[in-house]
Amino acid sequence: MRTHTLIMPLDMHLHLRDGAMLEAIAPLSSYSFSGAVIMPNLVPPITNKQSLEAYKSRIRSATNRRINDDDSDEFELMDMDYFEPLMTLFYQNYSREFLEDICDDIFAIKLYPAGITTNSDGGVESFEIEQMRETLEAMSELSIPLLVHGESDGFVMDREAEFMSIYEMLALSFPDLKIVMEHITTKAAVQMLDRYKNLYATITVHHLLITLDDVAGAALQPHLFCKPIAKRPEDREALREVALNAHPKVMFGSDSAPHPQHAKESCGCAAGVFTAPIALQLLCEIFDSEDKLDNLQAFVSDNAQSIHGLCPEFKEVTLKQEPFKVPESYSLVVPMYANRSIAWSIEDVL
């Protein structure tokens, strides 16, 4: 039986939600990842130090548990914390004084165009540089990265490509600002990586696997519906090219986004693919199929450490090439590939 070990894997884009959902799904990430960048689009969003600290405390409480060794959907309390939540603020036009006060408590600030995805109604309505200048200049000087959900409000298949001009404007106007193009899905976004030194990107596991045909080519698959929506085969191939070859400016970010089963399997299907408990296994399968397993460590950890100067909590995850049947659900959240067998399993976590 073949095995593969990953050291200090990081998820650079993760939704943990709150309340009962947080309690149910957070241990699934903290079990196999050393840390994760936590999205701030709660209701209401995380926009100040008080709400940030309170949310981080709730996350730490939820992640001080781990999965029992029998792979059941059960947890045991642990008197330890081997998972670092990297906290983010929901973008607003913050003052420099505010950012100076909070910069040591946050990893980054997340920008959402208004209304473009889940819980983003309070996002940016107009990308007028002068309106954003104080905030973005302060972020540049304080070394606070800007994470961007890069979509316009145009035709759904063109939204990311149409946003490239915004990325160019931001990169040129604030050359010292570290800008991360989140969960990129297109060849156009891949081509942007090498045009500007301050542009980086995260890529999800599901966008390395699926195209729009998998979502809606036959019967609709609500558990594969997400924003940005999966695109064309040539877009997926462009993503795989940079991920599999460990392009130094790309990082793994699951964008694992849990919703209750009733919210996914309904009219007005909620956007989000839940991959947290199977992300590393699927990545091993993808990279192994292309004889690129040696590059997986860079994609899931080393690049992020280098780009952001991170020093994660130590964790060693050993995976084995043994089939794993994905459960039907995790606490009423249906995962990607539910009830299907995938080629790799997690053998051990140290």
Cα–Cα dist 5/33, whole Å:
13
Closest CA to 251 of 39, 35, 85, 10: 10
- 3-state class (DSSP) for residue 153: coil
202 vs 72, more confident: 202
Mean pLDDT of 21-45: 96
CATH 3.20.20.140 is the classification of domain 12-273? yes
Question: Residue 80: is its pLDDT beyond 50?
Answer: no
**Domains of the chain: which residue ranges?**
12-273
The pLDDT value recorded for residue 74 is 56
The pLDDT value recorded for residue 76 is 58
Mean pLDDT of 174-190: 98
The pLDDT value recorded for residue 64 is 82
* Residues in a beta bridge with 76: 66
Question: Residue 174: is its pLDDT beyond 80?
Answer: yes
Phi, psi of 291 (to 5 degrees): 55, 45
Which string of b and e fits 11-41 if b means at least 16 CB within 10 Å?
Answer: bbbbbbbeeebbbbbbbbbbbbbbbbbbbbb
Task: Write out pLDDT tens, residues 272-306.
Answer: 999 999 999 999 999 999 999 999 999 999 999 99
Closest CA to 171 of 194, 142, 203: 194
* Residues in a beta bridge with 346: 319
Rounded to the nearest angstrom, the gap between the alpha carbon of residue 307 and the centroid of all alpha carbons in its chain is 16
Residue 75 CB coordination number (10 Å): 20
- 3-state class (DSSP) for residue 7: strand
Closest CA to 274 of 209, 336, 222, 339: 336
- Residues with a catalytic annotation lie at 255
98: buried, middle or exposed (CB in 10 Å: 19+, 13-18, 0-12)? middle
Are the C-beta atoms of residues 315 and 82 closer than 8 Å to each other?
yes
Question: Residue 181: is its pLDDT beyond 90?
Answer: yes
Question: Residue 254: is its pLDDT beyond 80?
Answer: yes
